[in-house]
Amino acid sequence: MIQATGSQKSWDDMEEFAVELCSVWYSPNGDHHILKNIDLKIKRGTCLALIGPSGSGKTTLFKIITRFLKPCSGSVIVRGSCGSLEKNKVGYIPQQLGLVRSLTALENVLIGAHSRIGLAGTLLGVFPKKEVELAAKYLNMVGIGHKAAKKVYTLSGGERQRVAIARALMQQPEIILADEFVSNLDIITAREILAEPRSWR
Ligand SMILES: Nc1ncnc2c1ncn2[C@@H]1O[C@H](COP(=O)(O)OP(=O)(O)OP(=O)(O)O)[C@@H](O)[C@H]1O
Ligand SMILES: [Mg+2]
């Protein structure tokens, strides 16, 4: 369970924050609360790590911010450069990655463009050339451009993590939420990936 931190800051400076949670409570069944009275403000342009024991509610908090889950009470504001952010402008790298194993790395990254391509195009695998080029660019950026045509089930854990990062970048998000996205990696690869977020912009 994540407990309230009791932010002391004034609410006058709201606009400088990309994410603001105020008195958020969440329970999956209306009984036991996983999140209790959470206040959280994340400034624009910052890189923040959320650390806590297993089962403490980190993934739940991410799902509240991405609006996959609705809080029982409290307010959630996710703000981009032009005001309130649409859901698809928040790039989410889930703990389990959520890749389609039977598709190639490139095809998985292209799924990140679904809000621009449309559901039909995404399902049929019909992608405009410029989106394919963009997907290839992001795969290169995370260091696995040479694996673009490989099926995901043939990739290593670290390579899959990178595909998931590239897919999130493909959304051209203003905010990226990455949930334990290096937890299964060896220390060298984890360090390499953790050094990257600032260069993703
Ligand atoms: N839909 C649900 N119904 C009931 N309990 C749930 C549900 N989702 C999460 N929980 C419980 O809420 C708690 C927090 O889960 P959550 O996945 O947010 O933890 P976490 O901090 O991300 O853990 P980990 O570090 O292991 O990933 C856990 O005890 C989990 O069992
Ligand atoms: Mg988790």
The full set of domain ranges for the chain reads 1-85, 88-201
Q: What digits encode the pLDDT tens for the residues 67-107?
A: 889 999 999 998 876 656 666 678 888 888 899 999 999 99
Cα–Cα distance for residue pair 138/97, rounded to 1 Å? 17
Do the domains 88-201 and 1-85 match in fold?
Answer: yes
Per CATH, the number for 88-201 is 3.40.50.300
The residue whose C-alpha atom lies closest to atom 13 belonging to ligand 1 is 55
| Sign of the CA dihedral running 117, 123, 128, 129 | positive
Highest CATH level, class, for 1-85: alpha beta
Confidence of residue 195 (pLDDT cuts 50, 70, 90): confident
Atom of ligand 1 nearest to the CA of 95: 27
Q: What digits encode the pLDDT tens for the residues 23-59?
A: 999 999 878 899 999 999 998 888 888 999 999 999 9
| Residue 61 CA to ligand 1 centre (angstroms) | 10
- Strands across the sheet with 17-26, in order? 35-43, 17-26, 73-80, 83-84
Tell me which residues have their CB closer than 6 angstroms to ligand 1. Answer: 28, 34, 52, 54-60, 95
The residue whose C-alpha atom lies closest to atom 16 belonging to ligand 1 is 57
